């Protein structure tokens, strides 16, 4: 049997772009202190790699090669623009600092440029409404449209926020560093929110063909682990636990042909017990501190699902209690929707429907496809077939995710036939 053909240089670069382009970008931002210059330099470096690697072979450290090449490309750009003399000393000094910064963890420094960039994007001088979207765009490479969907707003409005955020970093001279330990608590909420939204976009992609973007969930977990090393606070433990417990189900969430499998239908033997065990330990540590918040409560809910041998044996009463506590900490129509589903599982579909109908009657979540999807499922369980079809049809119209759309349309066809 012949071995499979080796991937071409272009295929290798495509894979490297998907996995490491934001790492290269973050390092270039740190060195160059300019988002646009770093972005242009990164793309020029990848373009140069197509030619150079075909001729010379793939370097031993591809990511380091791309960062170094990107830096030289940026210097060429500055020279052409006549800005090199103005910035040359600053860039040279910044390069001299790199070895020192990466060799020492004093004052909370760590060897990860993306975490530095997250803290830059979440600096207190930046408008709180801008911090997380800016992080998602610049650190993780999500499109403006994807971020707008996550925040239930328009693409144009979100683009304006991101532009304002980058301008503020430039004008205020905000440094590209991890803050000192004394400054971390004030910045933590925005950083946790950014990491969790990255995870969510990977766990349940907002659009496109693939329902899961494993590179984003892996990146969010990696950043969560780094943050936990830096600051092992209860909510950091809670967020890391939540992500690990969700990630433990990844292999069981999608069929071999790319179709979504709902939790109640998943083969629980395929759940990753190693991640579940790690997540449960973190949740229990956070709960024992009595200083936990929303992420820890969500992690506890996920732990209950993970510990249930079957869907029928899920402790829905405990989940309702936890969602009620979560609503007290973080009032949100999405959390209220999740609680409504748990109430329906405990008390029957009519009880959950009453809550969802009240949410929609207020005007909340009117364009949120999961609200209509949950309503359609409960109407189906209540025996209201025509109303269920209408709700599921509305959900299918709203979702931009192809696998989710197919799942909804399959349900609709089953109800019709």
* Average pLDDT for 308-312: 94
* Average pLDDT for 277-306: 95
Of the three residues 176, 198, 220, the one that is the final residue of a domain is: 198
Task: Give 70-87 pLDDT, tens digit per residue.
Answer: 998 888 888 877 655 555
For 254, the 3-state DSSP assignment is strand
* Average pLDDT for 366-385: 95
For 289, the 3-state DSSP assignment is helix
Of the three residues 103, 121, 144, the one that is the final residue of a domain is: 103
Q: What is the DSSP string of 14-76?
A: HHHHHHHHHHHHHHHHHHH--HHHHHHHHHHHHHHHHHHHHHH---SSHHHHHHHHHHHHHHH
Q: Which two tokens stand for residue 125?
A: 């001088």
The confidence band for 206, taking pLDDT boundaries of 50, 70 and 90, is low
Percentage with pLDDT > 90 across the chain = 51
* Average pLDDT for 188-192: 86
* Average pLDDT for 174-183: 79
Is residue 94 located within the same domain as residue 111? no
pLDDT of residue 88: 52
pLDDT of residue 294: 94
Judge whether 87 lies within some domain.
yes
Report the candidate in 97, 98, 99, 76 with the shortest Cα–Cα distance to residue 88: 76
Is residue 97 located within the same domain as residue 127? no
The confidence band for 104, taking pLDDT boundaries of 50, 70 and 90, is very low
Judge whether 288 lies within some domain.
no
pLDDT of residue 105: 35
CA 88/CA 68 separation, integer angstroms: 15
CATH number of the domain residue 333 falls in: 1.25.40.10
Q: What is the span of the domain harbouring residue 113?
A: 107-198
Is residue 135 located within the same domain as residue 96? no
The residue ranges of DSSP E strands in 188-296, in sequence order, are 207-208
Report the candidate in 26, 49, 194, 52 with the shortest Cα–Cα distance to residue 113: 26
Q: Are 64 and 27 in contact (CB under 8 A)?
A: no
Q: How many residues does the chain have?
A: 417
Is residue 404 located within the same domain as residue 347? yes
pLDDT > 60? residue 54: yes
pLDDT > 80? residue 251: yes
pLDDT > 90? residue 114: no
CATH number of the domain residue 135 falls in: 1.10.10
pLDDT of residue 243: 97
Is residue 116 located within the same domain as residue 54? no
Of the three residues 42, 76, 103, the one that is the final residue of a domain is: 103
Judge whether 208 lies within some domain.
no
Is residue 337 located within the same domain as residue 406? yes
CA angle 201, 277, 346 (to 5 degrees): 70
Compute the mean pLDDT over every residue in the chain, rounded to the nearest whole number: 86
The confidence band for 174, taking pLDDT boundaries of 50, 70 and 90, is confident
* Average pLDDT for 167-188: 82
Is residue 23 located within the same domain as residue 118? no
Judge whether 89 lies within some domain.
yes
Q: Are 122 and 115 in contact (CB under 8 A)?
A: no
Sign of the Cα torsion 358, 360, 128, 136 reads positive
The confidence band for 329, taking pLDDT boundaries of 50, 70 and 90, is very high
Report the candidate in 118, 360, 164, 364 with the shortest Cα–Cα distance to residue 376: 360
* Average pLDDT for 51-73: 90
Report the candidate in 306, 252, 249 with the shortest Cα–Cα distance to residue 283: 306
Count of C-beta atoms within a 10 Å radius of residue 16? 18
Is residue 132 located within the same domain as residue 99? no
pLDDT of residue 99: 39
pTM, whole model, 2 decimals?
A: 0.76
CA 356/CA 361 separation, integer angstroms: 9
pLDDT of residue 6: 65
Is residue 368 located within the same domain as residue 401? yes
Tally of domains within the chain: 3
Is residue 185 located within the same domain as residue 115? yes
Judge whether 34 lies within some domain.
yes
Is residue 75 located within the same domain as residue 130? no
């Amino acid at each position: 049997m012949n071995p499979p053909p080796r991937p071409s240089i272009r295929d290798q670069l495509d894979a490297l772009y998907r996995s490491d382009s934001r790492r290269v970008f973050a390092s270039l931002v740190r060195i160059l202190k300019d988002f646009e210059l770093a972005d242009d330099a990164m793309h020029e470096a990848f373009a140069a790699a197509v030619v150079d690697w075909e001729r010379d072979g793939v370097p031993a450290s591809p990511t380091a090669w791309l960062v170094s090449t990107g830096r030289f490309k940026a210097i060429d750009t500055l020279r052409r623009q006549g800005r090199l003399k103005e910035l040359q000393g600053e860039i040279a000094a910044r390069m001299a600092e790199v070895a020192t910064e990466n060799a020492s963890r004093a004052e909370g420094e760590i060897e990860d440029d993306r975490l530095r960039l997250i803290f830059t994007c979440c600096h207190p001088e930046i408008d709180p409404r801008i911090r997380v979207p800016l992080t998602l765009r610049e650190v993780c490479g999500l499109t403006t449209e994807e971020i707008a969907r996550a925040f239930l707003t328009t693409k144009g409005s979100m683009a304006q926020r991101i532009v304002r955020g980058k301008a503020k970093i430039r004008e205020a001279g905000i440094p590209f560093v991890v803050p000192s330990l004394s400054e971390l608590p004030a910045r933590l909420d925005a950083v946790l929110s950014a990491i969790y939204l990255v995870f969510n976009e990977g766990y349940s992609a907002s659009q496109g063909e693939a329902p899961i973007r494993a590179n984003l969930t892996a990146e969010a977990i990696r950043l969560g682990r780094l943050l936990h090393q830096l600051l092992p606070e209860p909510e950091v433990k809670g967020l890391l636990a939540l992500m690990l417990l969700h990630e433990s189900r990844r292999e069981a969430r999608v069929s071999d042909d790319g179709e979504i499998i709902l939790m109640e239908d998943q083969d629980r033997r395929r759940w990753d017990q190693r991640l579940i065990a790690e997540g449960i330990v973190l949740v229990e540590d956070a709960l024992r501190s009595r200083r936990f918040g929303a992420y820890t409560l969500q992690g506890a809910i996920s732990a209950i699902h993970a510990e249930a041998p079957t869907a029928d044996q899920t402790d829905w009463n405990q989940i309702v209690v936890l969602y009620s506590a979560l609503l007290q900490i973080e009032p949100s129509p999405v959390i209220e929707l999740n609680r409504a589903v748990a109430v329906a599982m405990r008390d029957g579909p009519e009880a959950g429907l009453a809550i969802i109908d009240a949410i929609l009657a207020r005007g909340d979540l009117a364009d949120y496809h999961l609200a209509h999807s949950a309503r359609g499922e409960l109407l189906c369980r209540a025996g209201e077939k025509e109303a269920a079809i209408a709700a599921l049809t509305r959900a299918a119209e709203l979702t931009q995710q192809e696998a989710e759309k197919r799942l909804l349309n399959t349900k609709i066809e089953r109800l019709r036939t």
